[in-house]
Every structure is written in structure tokens, then in C-alpha cells.
Amino acid sequence: MRILSLYLATSLDGKIVGRDDDHGWLFHDQDYGFSEFIADVDTLVMGRKTYEQALAFSADWPFTDKRSIVFTRNNELQPIEQVEVTRDDPVTVVRGLKGETGGKIWLFGGAEFAKPLLDAGLIDELVLAIHPVVLGSGRPLFSEHPERWFELAGVESFPTGLVSLTYRYNPARRRPPQK
């Protein structure tokens, strides 16, 4: 079974984007394990806003060697050649993709798109690149969800203060015994 992975940069206060689409707090001095991560990915899934933000950053689609699927309820969206656009339900489509053979599926973002996938228990891996800053405003990764337990699968820290934490979803894990 292919795994669906949510790999995101966050602040200490759990924001993935600062106020007014602010990305100026993100570290770009090194790769922080991203090229290793992306090497295992063959498919990207994302919401429309993430897609449009990625295009605003770079006129050329940066992931031409991957299958890229944009989910939208907007009939007007004119995709570029390298991406597929679907108006189908993300949970149904992603469940189908996970049943196929292939590499890792990267949940490229954003939070609104990730929510139903997390709530359906479809996110297998969570990679958080935690930046050493309290942004104090912006859009959080998580909102209202059912409780979900994970296993810690990796910890890496860098001299800049970035900590990369990798978690695997464990649907069988329960709360700890109480004293």
C-alpha cells in the first residue's frame, strides 16, 4: 500500500503560512532532508490554493517528473500542462491512489485540503519542519479534528534551529494508562 505523506514547514506556534501569505520566515539555506523525501514521491495531491501559490513562486511547475493532481470545486481553474485537475472528492480519489502500486504520495497542502484526509485516517506520515519562531499570526496546520495518535519515526535537528520530526499514523494506538 502506498503511503500518503504530509510534509510541511511550521512555526513553533503551528502556523504554515504567516499573515497575508507571509513565507519570509522559511529557511532556504539548505535542503533540510527534502531532496531525500521527494526522491520517494511519485505523486503530489494538493488543493487549489496551494497550487496557485506554488505557481506564483515559480512560473515553471517544479515537479514535472511527478504526477500532480489539483483538487478544486472551482470550474474556472485553467491548469497548466503538467498538472491534472479534478473536481472529485479528495477522500475517494486518494483512497483509490493508495490502492494502486507506486511510490509515496505527497500531500503538498494546504491545511483546508488536508483536513478531510487526516480525519478519514488517510495520512500515514507527518513530517514537520519546525522553524524556531513564534510567528504569532497566520494560518495553522491543524484545526478541529478527531483525536489521532502517531508513532515517532524520526528526529533531525540542524544548527539553524530547525527540527524535522517524522511521525507515522497508528490507528491502533490509544491513550496512555492514567495514574
Judging by DSSP bridges, how do beta strands 163-169 and 125-130 pair with one another?
A: antiparallel
Instruction: Count the Cβ atoms, other than its own, within 10 Å of residue 100.
Output: 10
- The distance of closest approach from Cβ of residue 175 to a copy of itself in the complex, given in angstroms and rounded to an integer, is 6
* Amino acid residing at 77: L
167 binds a copy of itself (CB under 8 A): yes
Cell numbers 483525536 correspond to 147
Kindly provide the residue ranges of all beta strands, DSSP E only, lying in 33-123, ordered along the sequence.
41-47, 67-71, 83-86, 104-109
147 binds a copy of itself (CB under 8 A): yes
Please tell me the distance from the alpha carbon of residue 100 to that of residue 164, in angstroms, as a whole number: 29
Phi, psi of 38 (to 5 degrees): -70, -25
Please tell me the distance from the alpha carbon of residue 61 to that of residue 51, in angstroms, as a whole number: 10
Instruction: Count the Cβ atoms, other than its own, within 10 Å of residue 29.
Output: 9
Residue with Cβ nearer a copy of itself (24 or 99):
24
Site for a copy of itself, residues 108 to 137, rule: CB under 8 A: 118, 126, 128, 130, 132-137
Q: Which of 62, 79, 103, 140 binds a copy of itself (CB under 8 A)?
A: 140
Site for a copy of itself, residues 24 to 53, rule: CB under 8 A: 24-29
Residue with Cβ nearer a copy of itself (64 or 137):
137
Residue with Cβ nearer a copy of itself (63 or 85):
63
- The distance of closest approach from Cβ of residue 33 to a copy of itself in the complex, given in angstroms and rounded to an integer, is 15
150 binds a copy of itself (CB under 8 A): yes
Where along the sequence are the contacts to a copy of itself (CB under 8 A)? Answer: 12-14, 24-29, 118, 126, 128, 130, 132-137, 140-142, 144-152, 155, 157, 160-163, 165, 167, 175-179
